[in-house]
Amino acid sequence: MPLTFSSDSLRLANSNQANASKTNQTQAGTNASATNDSLTKSRVAPEDSATKENKSIHLHLSEEAKNKSRLEKKKEAIDKSDLPTKIKDHLKRIHELKEELRKLEQALKKVMANNNISEEQKDLQAAQLQTQINALNSALLSTMNSLIEDLKEEPLTAEQASSFAELLL
C-alpha cells in the first residue's frame, strides 16, 4: 500500500529537517539527507505506482467520428473491389447520402426533443430539416436509378454481384 502525505505534513517534515540540520550539521547532515531522500521517494512512489497500474490508454470517439471512420472503411472496401468504376462511384455516393440523411434525422430528433425553444421555432427548424431530408432522399433515389441503369449496361459477374451486394449494405 503506497504512503500518501498531505502537503501540510510534507512542509512540516521538511521544516523540521531543516531545523535539525542547522543545529546538528555534522551529525544530522547525513541523516537529514537520508531522511530527505526517503521523503522524496515516498512522495514520488504513489505517482509511480499509479502509473505502473494504469499503462493502457482509453480513447473515446464521438459518434460522429465513429460514423466517419465507418464511412471511410466502406469507401476503402469499395475501392478495393473488382467492380467497374461507375458502380464504385455510385456505391460511394449512396453511402455518403445515407450518412448525411442519418445526421439530418438525428438533428430533427434533437429539435423535436428541445424544450428550450417555442413550438413555433421548433416547427420552423423541423420544416427546414425536413426540406433538406427530402432533397437528400431525392438525390439518393436519383443515384439508385443511375446505378440500376449502369448495371443494365454492364452486367456483373457472379463474383462481382456478390461483392456488390455486400458493399451496398
Per-residue pLDDT tens for 16-71? 444 444 444 444 444 444 444 444 444 544 555 555 565 778 777 787 788 888 88
* pLDDT (tens digit per residue) in 86-136: 999 999 999 999 999 999 999 999 999 999 999 999 999 999 999 999 999
**pLDDT band at 6; cut points 50, 70, 90:** very low
pLDDT in tens, 80-96: 999 999 999 999 999 99
Rounded Cα–Cα distance for residues 142 and 7 (Å): 69
C-alpha angle 51-55-60 in degrees, rounded to nearest 5:
115
61, amino acid identity: L
> What is the domain partition of the chain in residue ranges?
7-53, 63-168
Quick check: 163 and 81 in contact, CB under 8 A? yes
Please give the pLDDT value at position 155.
Answer: 92
Long-range contacts of the stretch 115-119 (C-beta < 8 A, 24+): none
